[in-house]
Amino acid sequence: MTSAISMSSRLMNVSGRETTSSVSHFILMGFPSGPKMQLLYFGLFSVAYTLTLMGNAAIAWAVWWDRHLHTPMYILLANFSLLEICYVTTTVPHMLANFLSTSKSISFVSCFAQFYFFFSFGCDEGFYLCIMAFDRCLAICRPLHYPCLMTRQLCTGLAIFGWSGGFIIFLTPVVLISQLPFCGPNIINHFVCDPVLLMMLSCSEDTTTQLVYSTLNRIFMIATFLFILCSYALVILAVLRMPSEAGKRKAFSTCASHLAVVTLFYGSVMVMYVSPGSGHPVKVQKIITLFYSVITPLCNPLIYSLRNKEMKDAALRKVLGTERPVHKT
């Protein structure tokens, strides 16, 4: 919290110094088109945003409501769903407002705040996918020791780290980029305040800031992706050794939903930020960003609910009213 407050005060100081930057706001072009297409975009993305909120909120509510789901796997899933809601809310509401706006402007501080929260929550998603892979690895590879290893204290600590890790990592890049001089132009050909485009708008080329940003991106993406791959490689080996076919099917079914989400998220993000020579055309950048910032959070609830028998059973119990929530005193 204090880091975020410190960041905000530094951003306001930067925006207030005319000698450093003469730009007080940016223009987010979004998806340039006629008024009718803008209304169509507004309708489509409004529906997608509403469904995303409803789907992820339903998962979080089902986990809270059903005591059968009060296990580390589902507690982490509920946190991941809440994280998805925060992640998509950092960009979509402003994008929807821009569809109905003629100015399409965003203030200097608001732009960097969006950049900070959007990429911090995105980073947190990567951490949560690692944590969920680690949880499944323990549960399947060490089933007898799992209750002793994945204690409530460890689960709580991992959940807190998953929420806070991204905010710590992205504090340095956002402060460095915000201190660059911006003299104009102030037009960002995107629907989010993308850091690469912000650095391109700077009056001076700061290679150190570019190096810090690109290095952090690559290290984070590659390290977390390799951790997830190694975790699921161990899981697959453990599943193949299981004597029971029913046990194999259940384990593969659970891991399949996790791997589907990992593929959707990392597939698009790594193409955008890690691929060599990532100078993608602007339209391609928008489509890729749209995929991992809007489409993936929309698909995740469907993947988890359709692939997971316990989630479907919890929803059925809730609809039929066959069980009431148990509150601990």
The per-residue pLDDT of the chain, averaged, comes to 83
**185-215, pLDDT tens digit by residue?**
899 999 999 998 999 999 888 888 989 998 9
Which sequence spans correspond to the domains of the chain? 2-320
DSSP for 187-208, written as a single string: EESSSS--HHHHHHHSSS--HH
The per-residue pLDDT for 245 is 76
Under 8 Å CB-to-CB from 20, ≥6 apart: which residues?
A: 14, 179, 181
Task: Give the model's confidence band at 156: pLDDT under 50 very low, under 70 low, under 90 confident, else very high.
Answer: very high
Residue 308 confidence (pLDDT): 61
What is the pTM (predicted TM-score) of this model? Answer: 0.84
For the domain covering 2-320, report its CATH number.
1.20.1070.10
pLDDT (tens digit per residue) in 262-289: 888 888 887 776 654 455 677 888 888 8
Between the CA of residue 205 and those of 20, 161, 177, 180, what are the distances in Å?
Answer: 14, 34, 11, 9
Residue 36 pLDDT level (bands cut at 50, 70, 90): very high
pLDDT tens for each residue of 49-69: 999 999 999 889 888 888 888
